[in-house]
Chains A and B, each alone.
Chain A
């Protein structure tokens, strides 16, 4: 029938799934870097919401999606400073600080939005989509996968870049050592604190970018708690891929697609209770975990503060 289950409709489902997944790629990538270095960053949700708000303000002020995304990334990084100072440098409990950051950032952003924007609910500038030539002409899959804002494609590039850095550069190996055997790193002349600082700041940048994406590309505006738990999903996805960073792309996009699937199932008139449908993405993760995730890789020194003075 006209418009129903047409190509446009399916493309829209796929497109929506991709847009839902991209922030998870950025945030998940960031979390993977932190965890690799031995820092369990539970404050990811806080960095994302900070980035969402920063991106919102930036996008509005500069009337530019890109500048907004960059503002969001910087905001995320500023929030991650709390983690750097308290956990990496001062060895405070990572779980406590992470949760504190999350609650605090959620509260501050909601408060600021309420004070400044709640009477006008401004919307951000329209997103410029770029279609990749040739690829976007593939029937059905093309328009859904290959017609997005450039920052969506950038996610893939970032993942490949970070994957390369972690495997083949000095800083990458330092990060891995900081996570597995911090004493060995220090003994070899490295600096665990500096390495972890770089890791956590990168996480803040990436998570902030992802949060800004949610607002600037995904929702079109900021509302309090707009990240809706995506930070925690990103933590889970990062653990799921067990250090094999490239798989984050697959995991995130799959999760995003499962959200679109819930819409599709409803429209297809499949008569199962909505709550059952909405459980699906999470059940999917458990199944994936069971099939692929045995002995999920967690670095040996994860969440253990490294105290130079005691070693």
Chain B
């Protein structure tokens, strides 16, 4: 033990920061290298591709704004997962919860907009989105709390069902009679979420950031959050300690899925303004590994989501410019995740080396 303390003080702060930054960058570099090799086998210039990717995703003002806009719903979904996963609840149904929340909000928005002022409108839409998302995980929650039924199955099934049900709602009840395309009425641009600093980025981003930080503190500093962590680490101990599992389980599910619904509300009210039947952006799956890799820590979650948004927005643009299908973005995302997982392993190993 004393050895490591000595090592710790011997190292300068600068060295530590540099090493940490480099370690954080290694997965990105690894993904870029392998991705570059793949590009070369397809006959494309990797430098041009990645140059475009970073340029559009990060450097160009237009692209950067798009990256930030993309981050908003991802942050909110991540907030919900930061509640469920540490509590041991595998909420894999965020896509369904997202779509259901989005559809209801899209239907409600244009109806309300002419009658209320902006603040009331947005607050209502957020609450409604959250509520619909929360309701959509009630069935899995009850099945788990009362019957111990595996929620991986039930949340996945509710996603499939939710996609069908939302399409049904749009086609049969929420449709805009003015157009032949089955979609909701459009929330006029003027009625959408206000934008910040005369850029295109809407305040949904702030909502997302606040949510992540709030959830982070709730999970680590409040009694409720600590209770959830205990449930996750040792359910039997939790029961022994007298925690009421049934209400707790319901609470975890509904809070987690509520955020997914809120994410959709933010997106609909801020960007899309409309929802078509068969709408399914399917961004939940991407957030799951990010939240795990970040070990549920707010700063890491935000950083990872930012990195992935850059990859997506920049990658789409770069793919088009290099004339390859934007499936390349999927490949890059997969590579990045694999390298991040590897990176975690290397961190663990190196820290253990220093311990012994």
The residues of B that contact A276 with a CB separation of less than 8 Å are 164, 168
Q: Which residue of A lies closest to B278 (CB)?
A: A275
* B338 x A104 contact (CB < 8 A): yes
Q: When chains A and B are docked, how far (Å) is the Cα of A298 from the Cα of B150?
A: 8
In the complex, B331 has a CB within 8 A of chain A: yes
In the complex, A20 has a CB within 8 A of chain B: no
Q: When chains A and B are docked, how far (Å) is the Cα of A115 from the Cα of B149?
A: 45
Query: Are A236 and B156 CB-contacts (below 8 A) given A86-B345, A90-B345?
Result: yes
In the complex, besides A107-B333, A282-B157, 19 extra interface pairs with C-beta distance below 8 angstroms are A91-B348, A92-B345, A99-B286, A103-B333, A103-B334, A104-B330, A104-B335, A104-B337, A107-B327, A110-B330, A224-B327, A273-B168, A275-B168, A279-B164, A282-B161, A283-B161, A286-B139, A289-B153, A309-B352
Of B154, B324, B340, the residue contacting A286 (CB under 8 A) is B154
Q: When chains A and B are docked, how far (Å) is the Cα of A47 from the Cα of B270?
A: 37
* B157 x A239 contact (CB < 8 A): no
Q: When chains A and B are docked, how far (Å) is the Cα of A276 from the Cα of B167?
A: 10
Give the shortest distance, in Å, between B262 (CB) and chain A (any CB): 23
In the complex, B172 has a CB within 8 A of chain A: yes
Q: When chains A and B are docked, how far (Å) is the Cα of A105 from the Cα of B328?
A: 11
Task: List residues 304-339 of chain B with CB under 8 A from any CB of chain A.
Answer: 324-325, 327-338
* B152 x A235 contact (CB < 8 A): yes
* A97 x B153 contact (CB < 8 A): no
* B152 x A236 contact (CB < 8 A): yes
The residues of B that contact A106 with a CB separation of less than 8 Å are 327, 330, 334
* B293 x A107 contact (CB < 8 A): no
Query: Are A100 and B338 CB-contacts (below 8 A) given A273-B172, A279-B164?
Result: yes
Which positions in A face B, CB cutoff 8 Å?
82, 86, 90-93, 95-97, 99-108, 110-111, 114-115, 224, 229, 232, 235-236, 239-240, 273, 275-276, 278-279, 282-283, 285-286, 289-290, 293-296, 298, 309
Can you spell out 19 A-B residue pairs with CB atoms less than 8 angstroms apart? A82-B338, A96-B288, A96-B340, A96-B341, A100-B338, A102-B285, A103-B337, A104-B333, A106-B330, A107-B333, A111-B325, A111-B328, A115-B42, A224-B327, A229-B160, A275-B167, A275-B168, A293-B153, A295-B149
The residues of B that contact A279 with a CB separation of less than 8 Å are 160-161, 164-165
Of A86, A108, A232, A236, the residue contacting B341 (CB under 8 A) is A86
In the complex, B148 has a CB within 8 A of chain A: yes
The residues of A that contact B330 with a CB separation of less than 8 Å are 103-104, 106-107, 110
Q: When chains A and B are docked, how far (Å) is the Cα of A99 from the Cα of B153?
A: 16
Q: Which residue of B lies closest to A285 (CB)?
A: B157
Q: When chains A and B are docked, how far (Å) is the Cα of A232 from the Cα of B93?
A: 12
* B344 x A93 contact (CB < 8 A): yes
Query: Are A95 and B288 CB-contacts (below 8 A) given A100-B341, A240-B153, A298-B150?
Result: yes
Which among A95, A99, A108 has the highest number of chain B CB atoms within 10 Å? A99
Where chain A touches its partner, the secondary structure class is helix
In the complex, B143 has a CB within 8 A of chain A: yes
* B156 x A111 contact (CB < 8 A): no
Q: Which residue of B lies closest to A276 (CB)?
A: B168
Q: Which residue of A lies closest to B85 (CB)?
A: A95
Q: Which residue of B lies closest to A294 (CB)?
A: B147
Of A86, A278, A294, the residue contacting B164 (CB under 8 A) is A278
The residues of A that contact B247 with a CB separation of less than 8 Å are none
Of A101, A110, A275, the residue contacting B171 (CB under 8 A) is A275
Which among A107, A276, A285 has the highest number of chain B CB atoms within 10 Å? A107
Which positions in B face A, CB cutoff 8 Å?
38, 42, 139, 143, 147-150, 152-154, 156-158, 160-161, 164-165, 167-168, 171-172, 285-286, 288-289, 292-293, 324-325, 327-338, 340-342, 344-345, 348, 352
The residues of B that contact A282 with a CB separation of less than 8 Å are 157, 160-161, 164
Q: When chains A and B are docked, how far (Å) is the Cα of A110 from the Cα of B331?
A: 10
Of A97, A229, A294, the residue contacting B337 (CB under 8 A) is A97
Query: Are A107 and B334 CB-contacts (below 8 A) given A92-B344, A275-B171?
Result: yes
Q: When chains A and B are docked, how far (Å) is the Cα of A97 from the Cα of B334?
A: 9
The residues of B that contact A86 with a CB separation of less than 8 Å are 338, 341-342, 345
Give the shortest distance, in Å, between B331 (CB) and chain A (any CB): 4
Q: Which residue of B lies closest to A297 (CB)?
A: B150
* B149 x A275 contact (CB < 8 A): no
Give the shortest distance, in Å, between B332 (CB) and chain A (any CB): 8
* A293 x B150 contact (CB < 8 A): yes
Q: When chains A and B are docked, how far (Å) is the Cα of A111 from the Cα of B333?
A: 14
The residues of A that contact B338 with a CB separation of less than 8 Å are 82, 86, 97, 100-101, 104
* A93 x B331 contact (CB < 8 A): no
The residues of B that contact A309 with a CB separation of less than 8 Å are 352
The residues of A that contact B324 with a CB separation of less than 8 Å are 111, 114-115
* B165 x A275 contact (CB < 8 A): yes
Query: Are A93 and B293 CB-contacts (below 8 A) given A104-B335, A286-B154, A294-B147?
Result: yes
* B157 x A104 contact (CB < 8 A): no
The residues of A that contact B336 with a CB separation of less than 8 Å are 100
The residues of B that contact A285 with a CB separation of less than 8 Å are 153, 157
Q: When chains A and B are docked, how far (Å) is the Cα of A96 from the Cα of B286?
A: 9
* B156 x A91 contact (CB < 8 A): no
The residues of A that contact B331 with a CB separation of less than 8 Å are 103-104, 107-108, 111
